[in-house]
Structure 1
Amino acid sequence: MPLSVPRRWLFALALAASAASAQDAVRVGGDPHYPPHHYLGADGKPQGFDIAVLDAVADAEGLSLSVEFGEWSGVLDRLERGELDLVPMFISDDRRQRFLFSRPVMRRHHVLYGRGGERITDVQQLAGRRVAVQFGGMAWEWMVNSGADAVLRPVNEESLVLVEVVRGDADFALLPEDIGRHALVAQRLEGIEVVGPPWLELDYAFGINPARPDLVERIDAGLGKLERDGQLEALRRQWLEPRAVADSRAWSVWWLLPIAVVLSGVLVFLVIERRSHRPPA
């Protein structure tokens, strides 16, 4: 039965609304263990610098975000297949062949950690050495393509890469500088240090599924607004500046306060007790 004119208009409007809703929906992928950039908080909710930036962009551009974290080794494949729309990541030549990218959010670099005593200035010095990296991460891609013939020790969680060196299962660990700095403090790791110059200095941005070119324009527009009003820089300071060390030092002082109060009370009690037993003059 043919549709009447009003019904045809309603049907067309419904299709248009459905298409607009699909364009506004953004499935965000990432690693649940990648602080301070993105991770699952203690309450089970996504948080971190990347999430805060995307939330602000979504507010500015009328986007609806849903976050689907998973093991990094599978996240990029899901983005390429169209099961995800957007994933925060480093930009590389190889990744440009697979994804579209937003404007860069920041510039980041990697560093090599070891037990000290040996300075590594060239990747070729890692030949035959055990190097811990996140499987499928930027450091892993670079080491595979470098031809350094290192013995790679892949780890699923980049925040745990340094642990491989601490417990002696790797000679070195290569990971982003800010992730390593955060892990050292958060996990209270000792006995390792940076043993080489900055490597892999790359732009960090939002990788986007090639079937969503519309999303590149909207993300860039939102990032431009955040940059102009200073909100992007404020979020960088809030999430990425190394406050954890200062916080831990403050805690190391303030935890003594209850003990000081108890000791003061004991001292007062002893003084009163002594006076109560003093013979009358």
Structure 2
Amino acid sequence: MPVNRLCRLLAACVLWGLATLVQATVPVRVGGDPHYPPHHYLGVDGEAAGFDMAVLRGIANQQGLELSFEFGEWGRTLDRLERGELDVVPMFISADREQRFLFSKPFLRRSHLLFGRGGEWIDDPSQLAGRRVAVQFGGMAWEWLINERVDAELHPVNEESLVLAEVARGDADFALLPADIGQYAIAMQGLEGVEPVSAPWLERDYAFGINPARPDLVARLDAGLAHLEAQGEIQALRSRWLEPKAGRDDASWSSWWLLPAVPVLLAGLVYLVAGRRAARGRVGRRPA
């Protein structure tokens, strides 16, 4: 073999080895929605939690991956993944998303439900024409209603966990969101009178969306998923996270929906304390 060709071959091998080493040591940047329990969310301690994150951590342990978490507003999270600013985000698979991201093998099959009040049953999306429908901005329901050209008045909400509150307040006639997220929100937020008003819609595979520039992660996530499945660990995680028992004692999980209300509660407390101090000042003053 000519010396020049041998040198080029050795240089290529060195570069490939360095690239592999860098990818193995650089943390995998994980994105998600901070308010999407029980699948993924930020707990009261600020740590990433939920079923998706438990599965991903299991894969990371098996594959020797280091994870870093950068949760944020959902639409922006998807844009960051497409630009390569994130590496992995759990999500529903759709035709549109397959044009933007790579995907691992699915590890769940999930569906959506329409929720409303008053017992009006909806058999077909065409019945939503002219009606106010709350959805998460950038979410699967938002994407589907637009692609299907459903003539509804969409009310976008940034946090899917708060979509049903639009119906409870009367600001929307219906809300379309994943069935499990809706049922958990009703139970945890005490949304009386809000109930499913359709059969399951939008049944889709659920998987890890992957940075298009990191095809190496597809094989590693798939290998990790296969290992966890073979060991029965994914089923155990499903039982723990997706089939919660009554009286669940996971404070991080059960307090997730209070987080958006914290600033309001603090402001009210400050106002109350200030009002009491002012009242004591008036009582303590003697008439001139």
Is the TM value for this pair above 0.5? yes
* Alpha-carbon shift at residue 235 of structure 1 (Å): 0.3
**Off by >6 Å, runs of 4+ in structure 1:** 12-15
Aligned CA distance change for structure 1 residues 93 and 18 (closer, same or farther; 3 Å):
closer
Distance 1:128 1:192 in 2: 20
Alignment-derived partner of residue 267 in structure 2: none
Distance 1:208 1:148 in 2: 29
Alignment-derived partner of residue 178 in structure 1: 180
Out of 150, 168, 171, the position equivalent to 2:152 is 150
Alignment-derived partner of residue 48 in structure 1: 50
Distance 2:85 2:103 in 1: 17
TM-score, normalization by structure 2: 0.79
* Alpha-carbon shift at residue 22 of structure 1 (Å): 2.5
Distance 1:200 1:140 in 2: 11
Out of 86, 89, 96, the position equivalent to 1:87 is 89
Out of 198, 201, 207, the position equivalent to 1:199 is 201
Q: Secondary structure at the match of 2:165?
A: helix
Distance 2:159 2:75 in 1: 10
Aligned CA distance change for structure 1 residues 15 and 210 (closer, same or farther; 3 Å):
closer
Alignment-derived partner of residue 167 in structure 1: 169
Q: Secondary structure at the match of 1:200?
A: strand
TM-score, normalization by structure 1: 0.81
Amino acid at match of 2:34: P
- Give ranges in structure 1 of 5+ residues lacking alignment: 1-8, 249-281
Alignment-derived partner of residue 227 in structure 1: 229
Report Cα offsets for 1:135-172 as digits up to 9, x if no partner.
Answer: 00000000111111100000000000000000000000
Alignment: residue pair count: 236
* Alpha-carbon shift at residue 19 of structure 1 (Å): 4.4
* Alpha-carbon shift at residue 20 of structure 1 (Å): 1.4
Distance 1:41 1:120 in 2: 35
Alignment-derived partner of residue 23 in structure 2: 22
Larger radius of gyration: 1
* Alpha-carbon shift at residue 186 of structure 1 (Å): 1.2
The question of whether the paired residues in 2 share the 8 Å contact of 1:85 and 1:209 is answered with yes
Distance 1:21 1:36 in 2: 33
Distance 1:18 1:102 in 2: 22
Alignment-derived partner of residue 247 in structure 2: 247
* Alpha-carbon shift at residue 121 of structure 1 (Å): 0.6
Amino acid at match of 1:129: R
Alignment-derived partner of residue 100 in structure 2: 98
* Alpha-carbon shift at residue 242 of structure 1 (Å): 3.8
Aligned CA distance change for structure 1 residues 211 and 176 (closer, same or farther; 3 Å):
same
* Alpha-carbon shift at residue 108 of structure 1 (Å): 0.2
Aligned-pair identity in percent equals 67
